[in-house]
A and B are shown apart, each in its own frame.
Chain A
Amino acid sequence: MGLSTVAPLWGAPGLLLTIALHLALYLRPAQAWAPVHRDYCVLGAGPAGLQMAYFLQRAGRDYMVFERAPVPGSFFTRYPRHRKLISINKRYTGKTNAEFNLRHDWNSLLSHDPRLLFRHYSDAYYPDANDMVRYLSDFAERLGLHVLYNTTIAHVTVNKDRGAWNGHYFILTDHRGQAYQCSVLLVATGLSVPNQVDFPGSEYVDGYESVSVDPKDFEGQNVLILGRGNSAFETAENIFSVTNFIHMLSRSRVRLSWATHYVGDLRAINNGLLDTYQLKSLDGLLESDLTDLAIVKDHKGKFHITLKLFMEEFFNQSSDAIPLPQDNNDNFAMRVAYDRVIRCLGWKFDFSIFSKSLRLSSGSELSEKYPLVRASYESKGSRGLFILGTASHSVDYRKSAGGFIHGFRYTVRAVHRLLEQRHHGVAWPSTEHPITHLASAIIRRINEASGLYQMFSVLADVVLLKENATTFEYLEEFPMQMLAQLETITGKRARHGLFVINMEYGRNYSGPDKDVFFSDRSVGHMEDAWLSNFLHPVIYYYRHLPTEQEVRFRPAGWPLPRPSALHHVVEDFLTDWTAPVGHILPLRRFLENCLDTDLRSFYAESCFLFALTHQKLPPFCQQGYLRTQGLVGTESLRQHGVESGLLWDSATMGQNQGASDQRPGDHGPGGHPLAPGPPVSPFNSNKEEL
Chain B
Amino acid sequence: MMPSSFSVFRAGISFVMMCIFYTSAVDSPELSPQTFFSTLQPGKATLVYFCQAESPRTSMFLEELNEAAKPLQDYGISVAKVNCVTEETSRYCGSEKDLIKAYLFRGNIPLREFPTDTLFDVDAILAHVLFALLFNEVKYITTLGDLQNIENALKGKRNIAFSYVRAIGTPEHRAVMEAAFVYGTTYQFVLTTEIAVLESIGPEDIEYPHLYFFYCKQVLDLTQPCRRILMKQSLTTLNIHRFIKTMEAPLLTEVAGDPTQVSTVHLQLGLPLVFIVGQQATYEADRTTAEWVAWRLLGKAGVLLLLRDSLEVDIPHDTNVIIRRAEEDTQVEFLALSHIDLIVFHLESTMNVEEMVKYEDMAELNIEIQDDEVEETVYRDRKRQLPLELTLELTEETFHATVTASDSIVLFYAGWQAVSMAFLQSYIDVAIKLKGTSTMLLARVNCADWSHVCTEQNVTEFPVVKMYKEGQNPVSYTGMLGTEDLLKFIQLNRISCPVNITSVQEAEEYLNGELYKDLISYSSMSVLGLFSPTMTRAKEEFTEAGSYLKGYVTTGIYSEEDVLRLSSKYTVTLPALLLARHKEGKIESIPLVNVHVHDIVQIITNASLETFPEITVENLPTYLRLQKPLLILFSDGGIDLQHEKTILRLAKKKYLDSVTPCWLNLKKTPVGRGVLQAYFGTLPPLPLLVVVNLHSGGHVFAFPSDQAVTKQNLLLWLKKLEAGLESPIKVLPAQEWKPPLPAYDFLSMMDAAASEHLARKVPECIKETDMHESDKEQPDDKSAITEESIGTSKMKHSSRSSWLEEIKKPLRHDNQEL
Contact = CB atoms under 8 A, between A and B. Distances in A.
Interface stretch (A140-148, A203-211, A347-355, A560-568): A560-568
B372 A600 contact: yes
Interface string A625-669: 111111111101110110110111011011001111010101111
Interface residues of A, number: 123
A581 B286 CA distance: 30
Given A626-B621, A671-B677, A633 B740 contact: no
A394 B802 CA distance: 30
Contact of B617 (A585, A632, A668): A632
Nearest to B754: A555
A593 B624 contact: no
Interface residues of B, number: 132
A440 interface: yes
Contacts of B370: 580-581, 585, 644, 646
A631 B377 contact: no
Interface stretch (B76-84, B91-99, B220-228, B730-738): B730-738
Contacts of A431: 460
A641 B373 contact: yes
A491 interface: no
Contacts of A568: 746
A151 B100 CA distance: 100
A244 interface: no
Given A585-B370, A608-B671, A678 B337 contact: yes
B719 to A, nearest CB: 24
Interface stretch (B20-28, B276-284, B529-537, B704-712): B276-284
B377 A640 contact: yes
Contact of B378 (A96, A332, A637): A637
B739 A682 contact: yes
A648 B370 CA distance: 16
Contacts of B750: 530, 566
Interface in A217-266: 253
Contacts of A676: 338, 733, 735-738
B576 to A, nearest CB: 28
Interface stretch (B30-38, B44-52, B113-121, B446-454): B446-454
B458 to A, nearest CB: 9
B449 A612 contact: no
A440 B417 contact: yes
B818 interface: yes
B577 interface: no
A617 B737 contact: yes
Q: Choose among B461, B743, B803 the residue with the greatest number of A CB atoms under 10 Å from its CB.
A: B743
A309 interface: yes
A641 B377 contact: yes
B290 A669 contact: yes
Interface string A86-98: 0000000001111
B396 A96 contact: yes
B590 interface: no
B419 A601 contact: yes
B782 to A, nearest CB: 11
B762 interface: no
A602 B374 contact: yes
A669 B740 contact: no
Interface in B681-703: 681-683, 692, 694, 697-698
B801 A632 contact: no
Nearest to A114: B396
Given A593-B743, A678-B336, A332 B673 contact: no
Interface string B429-471: 1000000000000000001111110000000111000000000
B483 A634 contact: yes
Contacts of A648: 671, 674
B732 A677 contact: no
B152 interface: no
Nearest to A433: B461
Contact of A614 (B362, B381, B478, B733): B733
B448 A97 contact: yes
Nearest to A669: B289
A672 to B, nearest CB: 5
A670 B681 contact: yes
A669 B747 contact: no
Given A603-B373, A664-B288, A616 B482 contact: no
Interface in B354-377: 359-360, 362-363, 367-377
A680 interface: yes
A329 B806 contact: yes
B319 to A, nearest CB: 11
B479 A597 contact: no
Nearest to A431: B460
A608 B396 CA distance: 39
A664 B289 contact: yes
Given A615-B698, A671-B282, A641 B376 contact: yes
A516 B381 CA distance: 39
Contact of A631 (B419, B734, B742): B419
Contacts of A680: 342, 345, 738-742
Interface string A291-324: 0100000000000000101100000000000000
B807 A328 contact: yes
A585 B366 CA distance: 11
Contacts of B738: 596-598, 676-680, 682
Interface stretch (A17-25, A268-276, A281-289): A281-289
B278 A440 contact: no
A676 B736 CA distance: 7
B292 interface: yes
B744 interface: yes
Interface stretch (A173-181, A359-367, A372-380, A443-451): A443-451
Nearest to A582: B368
Given A437-B461, A613-B674, A447 B736 contact: no
A378 B379 CA distance: 48
Nearest to B625: A626
B670 interface: yes
A201 interface: no
Interface string B372-405: 1111111111001000000000011000000000
B475 interface: no
A292 B367 CA distance: 61
A453 interface: no
A580 B418 contact: yes
B804 interface: yes
Given A97-B450, A286-B801, A590-B744, A611 B620 contact: yes
A523 interface: no
B298 interface: no
Contacts of A613: 674-675, 678-679, 732
A288 B818 contact: yes
A632 B479 CA distance: 11
B239 to A, nearest CB: 26
A207 B568 CA distance: 100
B335 A325 contact: no
Contact of A605 (B321, B375, B448, B671): B671
A626 B624 contact: yes
Contact of A677 (B478, B484, B683, B740): B740
Contacts of B108: none
Interface string B258-301: 00000000000000000010110010111111101100000000
A333 interface: yes
Given A605-B671, A631-B481, A677-B342, 16 more contacts: A529-B744, A529-B746, A530-B746, A567-B744, A604-B618, A613-B674, A613-B678, A616-B737, A633-B377, A644-B370, A646-B372, A650-B671, A676-B338, A676-B738, A678-B738, A680-B342
21 contacts: A97-B448, A309-B813, A329-B807, A474-B460, A566-B747, A588-B372, A593-B739, A598-B737, A598-B739, A603-B374, A611-B620, A613-B732, A614-B734, A615-B697, A625-B621, A630-B482, A633-B374, A650-B670, A651-B670, A669-B278, A670-B681
Q: Which 9 A-B pairs have the closest CB atoms?
A: A632-B482, A658-B285, A675-B733, A650-B670, A578-B416, A592-B739, A677-B338, A598-B737, A589-B743
